[in-house]
């Protein structure tokens, strides 16, 4: 009998700590599938962030480093400079990357470090219990914006992918989502392209993945997937925002 579905070898055979309905598990799997498909598990080094994915080092079977909050792109820079023939990726959430780690991601992109950043954007601090993130949508209630994010006092969400795409350094920047099967398939393609570009030495690559946090959003997993589609997509449009092989894209 032909086995049609199995655990990717790059994904460790352990239970994860993620909440029910959280899409981190899907994203982990997509990365692991791409690592398997490219046959690079023995030369991949991942960098785990601070946040919900802090324990990512337990979930991938490649070498892993755990980085300080926001510093994953700097840590990845150090690794990649020592191991230029390796594939190095960072896995970061929106608090980690878009808030405390803004300088590190901007300059890694500007230097065109040969790394791939997987930027998981669910618009909230998950691990610490649901505080406002730089990507929290206007009006959304969090534990530190209990009356809803008031843009007159708390500013506006940052569109990281569009911001980084203004730089000359990045080779590939895409925003994808995992709220339904069609988008999961597109997300996988984008992740694969990012890793391929890195391995070909084309430059810095980043895939922003819109993700859910049913626990801290205070809604069911189904409602969370619907919120991605109806509320996040209008603010964070999907697509390949920069691809040096295809020229600038909208």
C-beta of residue 206 within 8 angstroms of C-beta of residue 194? yes
Instruction: Please report whether residue 106 would count as binding another protein according to CB under 8 A.
Output: yes
Give the span between the Cα atoms of 12 and 30, in whole angstroms: 13
Segment interacting with another protein (CB under 8 A) among 103-111, 177-185, 187-195, 230-238 = 103-111
Question: What single-letter DSSP state applies at residue 231?
Answer: I
24 burial level (CB within 10 Å; 0-12, 13-18, 19+): buried
CA distance 126 to 227: 16
Q: Which of 65, 131, 144, 154 binds another protein (CB under 8 A)?
A: 65
Q: Which of 19, 36, 38, 83 binds another protein (CB under 8 A)?
A: 83
How far, in Å, CA of 55 to CA of 139, rounded?
31
Helix axes 102-110, 72-82, angle to 10 degrees: 40
Full DSSP string of 195-223: HHHHHTT--EEEEEEE---HHHHTS-HHH
Among 11, 30, 34, 47, binds another protein (CB under 8 A): 47
Q: Does 75 bind another protein (CB under 8 A)?
A: yes
Q: Is 57 in the site for another protein (CB under 8 A)?
A: yes
Is 103 a binding residue for another protein by CB under 8 A? The answer is yes
Q: Which of 27, 32, 45, 238 binds another protein (CB under 8 A)?
A: 45
- In angstroms, give the least distance from the CB of 65 to another protein: 4
- Told to check if 167 binds another protein by CB under 8 A, we report no
Assign residue 128 a region: left if phi > 0, alpha if psi is -120 to 50, beta otherwise?
A: alpha
Q: x/- binding map, residues 2-21, to another protein, per CB under 8 A? A: ----------x---------
Residue 18 sits at the vertex; the CA angle it makes with 118 and 71, to the nearest 5 degrees, is 40
At its nearest, how many Å lie between another protein and the CB of residue 86? Answer: 5
Which span sits near another protein by CB under 8 A: 36-44, 119-127, 169-177, 219-227? 36-44
Least distance in angstroms from the C-beta of 98 to another protein: 16
* Shortest spacing between CB 55 and another protein, in angstroms: 8
| Binding of residue 111 to another protein (CB under 8 A) | yes
Between CA 224 and CA 214 the distance in angstroms is: 6
Interface residues with another protein (CB under 8 A) are 12, 41-45, 47, 54-55, 57-58, 60-68, 71, 74-83, 86, 103-104, 106-107, 111
């Amino acid at each position: 009998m032909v086995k049609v579905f199995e655990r990717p070898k790059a994904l460790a055979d352990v239970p994860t700590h993620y909440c029910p309905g959280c899409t981190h598990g899907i994203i982990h799997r997509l990365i692991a599938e791409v690592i398997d498909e490219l046959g690079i598990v023995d030369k991949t080094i991942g960098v785990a962030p601070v946040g919900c994915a802090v324990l990512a080092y337990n979930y991938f079977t490649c070498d892993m480093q755990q980085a300080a909050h926001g510093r994953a792109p700097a840590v990845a820079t150090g690794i990649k400079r020592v191991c230029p023939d390796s594939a190095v990726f960072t896995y970061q959430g929106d608090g980690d990357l878009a808030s405390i780690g803004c300088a590190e991601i901007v300059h890694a992109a500007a230097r065109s470090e040969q790394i791939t950043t997987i930027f998981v954007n669910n618009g909230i601090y998950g691990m610490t219990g649901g505080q406002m993130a730089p990507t929290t949508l206007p009006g959304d209630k969090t534990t530190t914006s209990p009356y809803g994010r008031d843009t007159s006092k708390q500013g506006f969400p940052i569109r990281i992918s569009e911001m980084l795409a203004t730089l000359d350094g990045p080779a590939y920047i895409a925003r994808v989502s995992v709220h339904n099967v069609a988008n999961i398939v597109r997300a996988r393609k984008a992740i694969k392209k990012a890793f391929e570009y890195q391995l070909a030495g084309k430059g810095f690559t980043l895939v922003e993945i819109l993700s859910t946090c049913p626990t801290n959003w205070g809604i069911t997993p189904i409602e969370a997937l619907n919120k991605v589609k109806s509320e996040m997509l209008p603010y964070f449009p999907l697509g390949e925002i920069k691809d040096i092989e295809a020229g600038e894209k909208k």
